[in-house]
Chains A and B, each alone.
Chain A
Amino acid sequence: MFFTILQHTRLIGISMILLLLVVAVYAQEEPSLPAGLSDSQSQDSQPALPSGLGAEPAAPNGLDLEPSLPSGLGTAASLGVEEAETKLAKESWLDVTGFWEVRSGYRLRSDKYEKDASIGETRLQLEMEKTLDEFTFKTTADLYYDWISEDHSVDLERGEGFLDLREASVGFSPTDFMDVKLGRQILTWGTGDLVFINDLFPKDWQAFFIGRDTEYLKAPSDALKASFFTDLANVDVVYSPRFDSDRFITGERISYWNGSTIAGTDDIVRTDKPDDWFSDDEWALRVSKNIKGYELSAYGYWGYWKSPGGFDTSKGRYTFPKLNVYGASARGQMGKGIGNIEMGYYDSRDDRYGDEPFVNNSQIRYLIGYEQDLPEIAPDFTVGLQYYVEQMLHYGDYRRTLPSGNKAAEEYRHLLTFRITKLYWNQNLAYSLFTYFSPSDKDVYMRPNINYKVNDNLAVEVGANVFWGDYPHTFFGQFEDNTNIYTAIRYSF
């Protein structure tokens, strides 16, 4: 009896092994169905191992092996079963994000007017967002300590001191076709890549030149933005009740051409800025429409030259003369890349005839650009080219009234920009170089940068701002001694 049972057991064992072998052989030829895909007659009612048979050495033509069915395709039952939706984690009451960074940089040339260190700061950016009913409140505040700067008192207009308030706004939609955003905010429009014609929102050129992150090129506006969305076109209106100038070069951190020589801390730019609420205001308008992927826009601006554009000889101060700008742009797919074209007429209202030597002449600015991936050369490789022209109007009057001894600007300022970007290591390492080159001014500004994301939170970068020019009075040539190299480490959260 016992023997019989033993025999039976052995038989059962053998047959099970045989069965397993059969199944295994069968499975090699036909991948088992993943859970959820097979019907009830299937022998593979058990969810098959995902890695399954696909990883087996391939047959000569490789086509005989089949993958096992993934979970969800194997069992008949699961086909009819509705999966409950995965619940998202409950949202936190207040959405706080930001980063902490340390940035340090040095001049590569000696500059007798400036410190050797070009930048040295630690910065904590806190971005908070809260939506209450229809209102979205947003605040972005940078708390920072800058050990190059000697003055640490807070100036919110210039973003100096230990606090740079980048955003403090409330947004809402009073109707289906309208958005409103009120308060301090960063504003951008136009088609240029680091070249601006119709974007007359404030820029921080100092931050750009000393090696802060590119996002700091845009300085905040204190404004009301109302956007209207209609089938005919979209309209954006921005009203700044008090003029927001650029954060321009003052000589404190960057030496510059003061009209007769290179100067810096010995000759800080003093300005007479229009600053009366509601009378020294700015209006900016954009009418835009996207036609089959081609973005067409028309722009208007009524305000002031954003960086000093005039000089008051009686007070010895730089001024911000009145300026209106009217322009248009188009952008869209062109050939294998993205093409853009933009122009703007700069109507210098305090010098309509060009014969006022201490006020900028009127101009027309033109831009044409093109950007494309070049997978034929390398993956993750992009190049961009732009050609920009600044045409001074009333050039004869300008030359005639130019005070003797002053260097005359060219009638046409030609500027080429070249951007080249290459990514490596799953796009965690980025090499980029942005170059401005003016054949008419004979000057160059190069912005090489290498950025490596150590992990999802930590990034390190090294970069430089290289200025070079034949003459000390040209746009980039004047900054030659400010050529600098910087490095930064940033932890994002």
Chain B
Amino acid sequence: MAKQIPLTIFILAWLLSLDSWAIAESEKAGVTADKSSEKEVLSVDQIVNKTNHVAYYQGFDGRAKVKMTITDSQGRQRIRELTILRWDKPDANLPKKEQHKDSSFCGEQKIYAFFNRPADVYKTVFMVWKHLDKDDDRWMYLPALDLVKRISATDKRTSFVGAHFFYEDVSGRNINDDVHELVKTTKDYYILKNTPKDPKLVEFAYFKMWIHRKSFIVVKTDYYDSQNKEYRTYEALEIKQIQGYSTVTKGKMTDLRTKGNTIAEYSNIKYDIGIPESIFTERYLRKPARRYLK
């Protein structure tokens, strides 16, 4: 079981974050589709940065309960339920008051995921320290053995806890790993084509993203193989405003080859809680951080 958990956790965490406040920011910057500001154009890098921020960095911390329904090619379903806590390292270059208000800031993060279901992994905890310049640090706590295990973090493109989401889908793919092209701008979307700088490291040839222009939410992502055939697709199914942040509360990843899919639903979402950094340590692997999990 130990092996199965790690990847899953991440995905969920990140999918949580979409910003209404980013919208306000982008409006100031003149990014919206309003007629008055239509001529102002964002650079590809700006779009990519804001999208990354909205997807993974809303608020200065957050919590969500995630339910993943995994359906395999034969229609059999498995449920994974976990509660995720997220902490963002503040931007040291900004004064305290300004920290977390820079919509382009995407720094280091810490993630704590507590498993509720299935029963055989109840109380298992998965913890990640996400780095930008090196591989993430990952731990897993197995309660029956009181064992704090270190998990290898190189395999970012394999399933997270058996779901169709990859570890990288949950935790966010490093934006520096791809070349980004703005293919088209429509009324609602920026359409981006992303091509990996090192194709040997990934299973896709490129992927396309439909980014909602106002909210910078990724509404759809299609992955293509080297034969230019689409084989994997992500769709945001439901977005809610939570404390002013546009948040994806339901998303679906489909494997077009096997027809299997995973639907991730987020509930009990809260931002800007004030979770101390100390929660993301071995102490709270062994003793669940119940206060913040509720």
Question: Do the beta carbons of B281 and A423 come within 8 Å of each other?
Answer: no
Question: Do the beta carbons of B144 and A373 come within 8 Å of each other?
Answer: no
Inter-chain CA distance A95–B218, complex, in Å, is: 38
Which residues of chain B from 103 to 161 have a CB within 8 Å of any chain A CB? 117-120, 122, 129, 134-135, 137, 142, 144-148, 150-155, 157-159, 161
Inter-chain CA distance A30–B190, complex, in Å, is: 11
Given contacts A34-B219, A425-B72, whether A79 and B238 have CB atoms under 8 Å apart is no
The 8 Å CB contact of A73, one of B78, B142, B145, B239, is B239
* Chain B residues positioned under 8 Å from A88 (CB to CB): 65, 267-268, 294
Which listed segment binds B: A64-72, A319-327, A347-355? A64-72
Chain A 416-429, CB-CB to B under 8 Å as 1, else 0, gives 00000101011110
Given contacts A37-B239, A67-B219, A99-B120, whether A73 and B146 have CB atoms under 8 Å apart is no
Question: Do the beta carbons of B235 and A427 come within 8 Å of each other?
Answer: no
How close is B198's CB to chain A, nearest CB, in angstroms?
A: 13
Which residues of chain A from 362 to 397 have a CB within 8 Å of any chain B CB? 371-373, 375, 379-380, 382
The 8 Å CB contact of B290, one of A37, A50, A131, is A131
A338 at the interface (CB under 8 A from B): yes
* Chain A residues positioned under 8 Å from B210 (CB to CB): 31, 66-67
How close is A298's CB to chain B, nearest CB, in angstroms?
A: 15
The 8 Å CB contact of B215, one of A37, A63, A229, A456, is A37
B184 at the interface (CB under 8 A from A): yes
Question: Do the beta carbons of B287 and A79 come within 8 Å of each other?
Answer: no
Interface size on B, residues (CB 8 A): 84
Which residues of chain A from 1 to 39 have a CB within 8 Å of any chain B CB? 30-31, 33-34, 36-39
Inter-chain CA distance A62–B228, complex, in Å, is: 10
How close is B22's CB to chain A, nearest CB, in angstroms?
A: 12
How close is A400's CB to chain B, nearest CB, in angstroms?
A: 41
Question: Do the beta carbons of B152 and A373 come within 8 Å of each other?
Answer: yes
Inter-chain CA distance A388–B151, complex, in Å, is: 21
A187 at the interface (CB under 8 A from B): yes
Q: How large is the interface on A (under 10, 10 to 19, 20 to 34, 35 or more residues)?
A: 35 or more
Which residues of chain B from 142 to 199 have a CB within 8 Å of any chain A CB? 142, 144-148, 150-155, 157-159, 161-163, 183-184, 186-189, 191, 193
Inter-chain CA distance A288–B281, complex, in Å, is: 12
Which listed segment binds B: A103-111, A329-337, A442-450? A329-337
How close is A212's CB to chain B, nearest CB, in angstroms?
A: 12
Question: Do the beta carbons of A71 and B237 come within 8 Å of each other?
Answer: yes
Question: Do the beta carbons of B237 and A50 come within 8 Å of each other?
Answer: yes
Known A-B contacts: A37-B214, A85-B242. Give 9 more (CB < 8 A).
Answer: A63-B193, A81-B241, A88-B294, A185-B146, A333-B135, A375-B154, A380-B158, A382-B3, A423-B3
Q: Identify the 4 closest CB pairs spanning chains A and B, nearest first.
A: A72-B239, A67-B220, A373-B155, A427-B162
6 chain-A/chain-B pairs, Cβ below 8 angstroms: A30-B186, A62-B230, A427-B161, A428-B78, A456-B119, A492-B118
Question: Which A residues fall within an 8 A CB radius of B?
Answer: 30-31, 33-34, 36-39, 50, 54, 58, 62-64, 66-67, 69-73, 78-83, 85-88, 97-99, 131, 136, 171, 179, 185-189, 214-215, 217-218, 227, 229, 234, 288, 290, 293, 295, 331-333, 336-338, 340, 371-373, 375, 379-380, 382, 421, 423, 425-428, 430, 453, 455-457, 459, 490, 492-493
